[in-house]
């Protein structure tokens, strides 16, 4: 990746249920530079921060857009972290092609709703569904389920939010 490209501002979401498990989604498809590898299609919800948007507003919007969930209480957040996208030779017009990777602030949220509230298949805000399945998983296992270029961030998130995990 070209180091002159900026990082995309992004929020990540560790949504904990009452048993201390986090919500993970199974990605439907590759998305340009965010390549998905066979067997490593799972991740926690995440998404871009719109221009002028506060990260705490972005995290609730992204949670709703990607999962349908709105019943969540704030628990904590990380400092900013970055990861690089793998080499990408696709179209320069792809919305992520102008970025070298993502600059993320992760939020820990406690899910206060019922599982029936979670519906990742319904498109919201004109955004296509990103996940075709979801489940609750142990936070310390999630890094092994994601693509390698995200693992260091996921391990740091697991350490930072270990107090909320069951």
Maximum average pLDDT range among 4-8, 31-35, 107-111, 128-132: 107-111
Question: What pLDDT score was predicted for residue 35?
Answer: 73
**Helix (H/G/I), strand (E/B), else coil: 80:** strand
Say what the pLDDT of residue 31 is.
64
Looking at residue 1, its pLDDT comes to: 44
pLDDT digits (tens, 9 = 90+) for 12-56: 999 999 999 999 999 987 666 677 788 899 999 999 999 999 999
Residue with tokens 């972290």: 81
∠ CA 45-50-55 to the nearest 5 degrees?
Answer: 60
What gap in Å lies between CA 24 and CA 44, rounded to an integer? 4
pLDDT for position 32:
65
Supply the DSSP string of 25-50, one letter for each residue. Answer: EEE-S-BTTB---TT--EE--EEEPP
Q: What's the average model confidence in pLDDT over 67-87?
A: 96
Q: Which among 5, 150, 161 has a CA at the least distance from the CA of 82?
A: 150
CATH code for the part of the protein at 7-89+100-164: 3.90.79.10
pLDDT in tens, 124-153: 999 889 999 999 999 999 999 999 999 999
Distance CA(55)–CA(117), nearest Å, equals 23
- pLDDT of residue 2 exceeding 80, the answer is no
The pLDDT of residue 30: 66
């Amino acid at each position: 990746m070209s180091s002159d490209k900026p990082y995309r501002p992004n929020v990540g979401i560790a949504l904990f249920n009452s048993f201390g498990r986090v919500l993970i989604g199974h990605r439907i498809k590759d998305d340009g530079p965010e390549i998905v590898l066979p067997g490593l299609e799972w991740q926690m919800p995440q998404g871009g921060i719109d221009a002028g948007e506060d990260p705490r507003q972005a995290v609730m919007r992204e949670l709703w857009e990607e999962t349908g969930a709105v019943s969540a209480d704030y628990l904590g957040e990380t400092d900013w972290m970055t990861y690089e996208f793998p080499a990408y030779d696709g179209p320069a017009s792809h919305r992520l092609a102008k970025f070298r990777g993502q600059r993320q602030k992760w939020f820990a949220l406690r899910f206060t709703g019922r599982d029936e509230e979670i519906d990742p298949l319904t498109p919201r805000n004109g955004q296509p569904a990103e996940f075709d399945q979801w489940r609750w998983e142990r936070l310390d296992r999630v890094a092994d389920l994601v693509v390698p270029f995200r693992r260091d961030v996921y391990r740091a998130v697991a350490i930072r939010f270990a107090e909320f995990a069951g």
